[in-house]
Amino acid sequence: MTTRIGNNRAMFSAVRDILLEGSTVRVSVKGQSMLPFFLSGSTVLLRPVQPADFRKYNVVLADTGRSFVIHRIIALDGDRVTLLGDGNVYGTESMTRDKVYGIVDCSRTHLFFARIWLWLRPVRRYQLAILRRITPK
């Protein structure tokens, strides 16, 4: 079954509910906040998050309070999770673990390159400037 809901909050509220029921959900990502790993229009498969999934570099669906985001875990501190989009240099989001609902299962290769990309954070704005010009929004 395919359901299309236009507004981010409404769509991801429905996705959250499906994940809380224990099902997986395929969603199309929009925007450039996860460049270079997910282009706008890429489809990702979200599954319900488990306690063991809270590891640095994993990509998760979380509720920031203002909106839902699919971003990468960059830090864990007790019950707090800090996320950053791969296409962002600044602008982290922090929330409690109970606001993280789904995870994108990424390959070992993906996670390896994600570590390098995170390490490049101080200089990646130059690569991102180029990527934003040549990829769809």
Name residue 62's beta-bridge partners: 69, 100
Decide if pLDDT at 5 tops 80.
no
25-43 confidence digits (pLDDT tens): 999 988 888 989 998 889 9
* The 59-63 sheet, strands edge to edge: 25-28, 43-48, 100-104, 59-63, 68-77, 80-84, 93-96
89-105 confidence digits (pLDDT tens): 888 999 999 999 999 99
Report the CATH number at residue 61.
2.10.109.10
Amino acid identity of residue 121, one-letter, is: R
Mean pLDDT score of the chain, rounded to an integer?
Answer: 90
What lies within 8 Å, CB to CB, of 125 at 6+ separation is: 89
Evaluate whether residue 29 is within a structural domain. Answer: yes
Evaluate whether residue 1 is within a structural domain. Answer: no
Evaluate whether residue 67 is within a structural domain. Answer: yes
* Measured distance CA(27)–CA(34) in Å, rounded: 14
Evaluate whether residue 3 is within a structural domain. Answer: no
Give the residue carrying structure tokens 């922090």: 94
In this prediction, residue 122 has a pLDDT band, given cuts at 50, 70 and 90, of confident
What residue numbers bound the domain in which 36 lies? 8-134
Structural domain count, the chain: 1
Evaluate whether residue 2 is within a structural domain. Answer: no
